[in-house]
Amino acid sequence: MIDVGIIGASGYTGAELLRLCGGHPELRVRFATGDSQAGTALAELYPSLAAAYPGVVFDRYDPALLDRVDLVFCGLPHGASQALMPELRGKVRWVVDLAADFRLQDAELYPRWYGEAHAAPELLPGFAYGLPELHRAEITGASAVATPGCYPTAAALAMAPLVRQGLVETTGIVVDAASGVSGAGRPPKPNTTFCTVDEDFTAYGLLTHRHTPEMEQTVARLAGVEPDAVSVLFTPHLAPMNRGMLATCYLRPTAAAAGASTAELLDLYRESFAGEAFVVVTDGSPSTKACLGSNTAHVTVRADARTGWLVAIAAIDNLTKGASGQAVQCANILAGLPEPTGLPVTGVYP
């Protein structure tokens, strides 16, 4: 068994980590911190966890807790991991961070997109980017992983085969994506109350969403170009559903893709994702409900001869493949376990 701790377990990603670890045959949760909920039973805040964690309460973070574990998941708000990471890296074998603190390799991007300088830029090169389907070799053998954001996960999986093969321009990429309300976190906010969200559909973060540079970084790495050779116009939307994410990406083909048909591109996607346990290439239109509660992404692609654009689409569960499931997937790789261990591949339906 591998002993794990979850720092910041009282939020939605923490609850999802607890759910997945509770059914994992090799990961044993030794502590779950939630300073705002310290002393509260897990089952009181999340009754769904009662059977897996009877009598367990949220701890207040204490460095002494680290002596109990081999691996730590960090589910803290952005910025909080930076202060803890030097201590964590020195005391535990593996760290998987779910926040954005160590996703961007260029420290100079943090002031622009996150409003403040990075507190530990010297640690950035030591983190692998935790999207296994695209960066598995980087994760294997690493000791620290920064899992991608939910929007970049969906967009990257949708676009990756086209970008890797040089079939699309790396500038002028347009990504429209919609997320369920759980993506905004557990603490109540005026714009995420039931009365605000129900029967509504809105765009937000116009031109300024923090996941934009993460998408551009991924495209640059897949295409093998410099970051300034990539531009993504990203518009996120809030959908009136608890969980789920749908990303629709619009890309201009290069000469290498001139005249490519939808059937040819779908064949490329099937070849690119062959053997991937958590990617389904579908002829139809991906559905968020098909992914509900699973760690699986559903992707498709279309070539539009009329406009000349290519359209790539991915659906995921924002809390599973978009966050906690992907974190467990990375933990499996770090620990040398079969990658699908303890992770659901099928969605909950209806």
Query: CA 49 to CA 19: how far, in whole Å?
Result: 7
In which residue are the tokens 């201590």 written?
A: 87
Q: Reduce the DSSP state of residue 156 to 3 states and report it.
A: helix
Please say whether the dihedral angle defined by the alpha carbons of residues 234, 75, 23 and 148, taken in this order, is positive or negative.
Answer: positive
In which residue are the tokens 């906690």 written?
A: 324
Q: Between the CA of residue 270 and those of 169, 267, 276, 291, 315, what are the distances in Å?
A: 21, 5, 10, 18, 16
330 catalytically annotated: no
As given in the structure block, the two tokens for residue 189 are 């906010």
As given in the structure block, the two tokens for residue 345 are 């591949």
Query: CA 232 to CA 172: how far, in whole Å?
Result: 6
As given in the structure block, the two tokens for residue 229 are 């050779």
Whether the ω angle into residue 121 lies within 30 degrees of 0, i.e. cis, is: no
Query: CA 64 to CA 82: how far, in whole Å?
Result: 19
Question: What stretch of H or E contains 91?
Answer: helix 80-91
Integer-rounded Cα radius of gyration of the chain: 20
Q: Could you say which of 150, 249, 291, 330 is catalytic? A: 150
Residues 6 or more apart whose CB falls under 8 angstroms from that of 76 comprise 7, 8, 84, 99
In which residue are the tokens 């960090």 written?
A: 74
Please say whether the dihedral angle defined by the alpha carbons of residues 219, 221, 222 and 225, taken in this order, is positive or negative.
Answer: positive
Query: Distance between terminal CA atoms of the chain?
Result: 34
Please choose, from the candidates 230, 227, 210, 232, the residue with its C-alpha nearest in 3D space to the C-alpha of residue 110: 210
Active site residues: 150
